[in-house]
Chain A
Amino acid sequence: MKQRLDPKAFGATMGEPVPLRRVFIAGVGMTKIGEHWDKDLSDLVLEAVVEASVLSGIERLEVDSFHYGSALSQLYSRQGNTAALVADRLGLSKMGIPLYEHGGGSAAGALALRAAWLDVASGLADLSVAAAADKMTDLKEVEHLANAGLEMDSEWEASFGLTPHAAAGLVADAYIQKYGLTREALSLIPSLFHSHAALNEKAQYQKAISPEAVSKSLPVALPLRMFDCAPVSDGAAAVFLASEDFVKYMTEKIPDSTILHYPPLELVVVAPASQKFNLAYRSDITKDWATLEAGRKSFEACGATVDEVNVVEVHDDYSIYALTALEALGFAPFGMSWKGFQKGLFTIESASKGEGPAVNTSGGRKAQGAPRSAIGLTQVYEVALQLWGLAGKRQVKNAKVGLCQTKSASSALAVVSILRSYPQVKWPVKEHSITKLKPQNEPVQPKGTDNEKKSRQETASLPGKESPDNKKKKEGGEN
């Protein structure tokens, strides 16, 4: 197996690079997002996993590892140890496979995806399942308000009255001050996402709303209003990840699998990154450094460029975060993304013409719904539909590369994943028949040689000396 991803992009600079295997999507499933009062947490996961399993024809015996994203199921469902419980309800408990439960706030599902991806890429598993769900409507509204600050710093932010609403409100105020964003321009964003959700039968709110309705909705954390904010939702999603060897096995053993009729879809990279936790510690809250770093890592690792991306799912739990995410990912210069929305960019129509990506074709967190843990996987579901050409009325023409960005509350942690489909290639995928993502003549610049890293470790603990690491950080901006 030839090495395709550059491990140096992820920070590993010592020793021989470990070859990573290619990872393919072998199934995706998602429940309708909304209020599922008649189902419990494991019912939802089961529904999503069964959809993925029906699509691929893969059965439980073939699963090598199970990764479950669980942001706050202890709160929403009064249930800890959720991975083991859910795996049992799925019928996986008898298999004796490794189970993992991933936290990380709203990014839980995306972290589960990263771990499953790593399992397959490293060769520890041939088929790994990432699943996540949340049943947020089991909680009363007052309990939601009381626990709103759980993803914030509970002792030093939430106790002073800072909720995620308020944090997003502060970011919006800073953005307005710095870049002159207007209320009318901000209202275009939820309105656009609702128009996408109107075409998505799995979305929570399948109704278009006018920008005026957004501007006139009830205040939540001014300048943000109710229609700037994502709803409380129930939902689950599951993604099956397979190695090339497993895909070959599928073509031989499960030839009637539906997924083999779609173009092969590769999960090229999943990269998480972090930034300063507290809002007060950050020097510029309008810049999402975690997303910037995760995006840089993932683009660098696979050699893709921003221009190649056709479909983007950003984590817009508040409308302002759609702007900061698009800018951090490089789809617009800092402070300019809202002008793109004003010019009619980031829509399905503009992306079909090849003018930049379509953003949140699912309806985004605002209109498709935001079941916290599952968010990262619902994004992959939508991007997979788009890249397979199965998105129906909201299909972006010729979509080949998709990107998902998921984050925890005020973006202390962000995960970026890149997917790519190969419409010209038939299953089973063979190495030589796929165009290389990384051009041979543009090697990725390593972050530092072995010697540099060693000296960095030595100097890092000595006060008074500025280590190269710090210098680099100062040059590269804040993280």
Chain B
Amino acid sequence: MSSPSVNWRNRIIRYRLEASQCPHCGTKHFPPRKVCYDCGYRHDSPEERMALKGTGVVLNYTIVNEAPPAFKLQKPYVMALIRLDEGLTVIGQIVDVDIDKIERGMKVRAVFRKLGEESKEGLILYGNKWTPI
């Protein structure tokens, strides 16, 4: 997580919220994959990536109180499985929400945020989080 190259190579997928779609069976994956988990078809050309609209509903959520250092300042924070309008599920953090008001089925949209900061000298990571519509 603290490596600059990791964040550099994932920047486009993370910042633009890109998913892959299997040209064989049509299954959509986020994070994008080079081998489909359903049919095993290999598809590694970046053209087969699709940008996600970034809207969906909360399937399940958990309120995290024991946080890694990068998320220490944000705790308690909400992690959720989000079913996107495109039909695939992603994992993400729900922000700008009263923790008591969060519920399953809540509509959310992606927002570009700072993901976390491991230490004062550490890298600052950016990516998508989710906020209620």
Q: Which residues of A approach B to under 8 Å, CB–CB?
A: 142, 145-146, 148-149, 153-163, 165-166, 169-170, 172-174, 177, 218-224, 276, 278-281, 285, 460, 463-464, 470, 473
Contact = CB atoms under 8 A, between A and B. Distances in A.
Given A156-B31, A159-B1, A279-B81, A220 B24 contact: no
A146 B62 contact: no
A6 to B, nearest CB: 26
Interface of B: 1, 6, 10, 23-24, 29-31, 37-41, 59-71, 74, 76-77, 79-81, 88-93, 104, 115-116, 118, 125, 127
Nearest to A225: B65
B62 A223 contact: yes
Given A145-B68, A281-B37, A222 B62 contact: yes
A210 B67 CA distance: 27
Q: Which of A145, A166, A473 has the most CB of B within 10 A?
A: A166
A470 B36 CA distance: 12
B1 A154 contact: yes
16 contacts: A145-B67, A146-B118, A155-B6, A157-B91, A159-B115, A162-B79, A163-B64, A165-B66, A166-B64, A169-B64, A219-B65, A220-B65, A222-B63, A280-B81, A280-B91, A470-B40
Given A278-B31, A280-B81, A166 B62 contact: yes
A305 B76 CA distance: 45
Given A160-B127, A161-B68, A280-B81, A177 B104 contact: yes
B66 A160 contact: no
A285 B10 contact: no
A174 B59 contact: yes
Nearest to A159: B1
Nearest to B93: A161
Contacts of B90: 280
A160 B91 contact: yes
A162 B67 CA distance: 9
Given A170-B60, A278-B91, A163 B77 contact: no
Contacts of B60: 170, 173-174, 177, 285
Contacts of B76: 219
A443 B127 CA distance: 54
Nearest to B79: A166
B23 A170 contact: no
Contact of B79 (A154, A169, A220): A169
Contacts of B40: 460, 470
B62 A155 contact: no
Contacts of A170: 60-62, 79-81
Q: Which of B10, B61, B80 has the most CB of A within 10 A?
A: B61
A342 B133 CA distance: 40
A3 B131 CA distance: 60
Q: Which of A173, A218, A464 has the most CB of B within 10 A?
A: A173
Nearest to B125: A159
Contacts of A165: 64, 66
A280 B80 CA distance: 10
Contacts of A218: 65
A157 B79 CA distance: 10
B68 A155 contact: no
Nearest to B13: A156
Interchain residue pairs A-B with the least CB separation, the first 7:
A169-B62, A222-B63, A156-B31, A173-B60, A166-B79, A174-B60, A221-B62
A159 B41 CA distance: 27
Contacts of B65: 218-222
A273 B80 CA distance: 27
Given A169-B79, A170-B79, A224 B62 contact: yes
A177 B41 CA distance: 34
Contact of B69 (A146, A463, A464): A146
A221 B60 CA distance: 12
Nearest to A479: B37
Contact of A145 (B1, B66, B127): B66
A370 to B, nearest CB: 15
A159 B127 contact: yes
Contacts of A146: 68-70, 118
B42 to A, nearest CB: 9
Contacts of B23: 463
Contact of B61 (A148, A173, A276): A173
Given A159-B127, A160-B115, A463 B41 contact: yes
Contacts of A463: 23-24, 41
Nearest to B65: A219
Contacts of B70: 146, 161
Contact of B38 (A159, A278, A470): A470
Contacts of B6: 155
A281 B77 CA distance: 22
Contact of B66 (A155, A156, A221): A221
Contacts of B59: 174
A161 B116 contact: yes
A160 B92 contact: yes
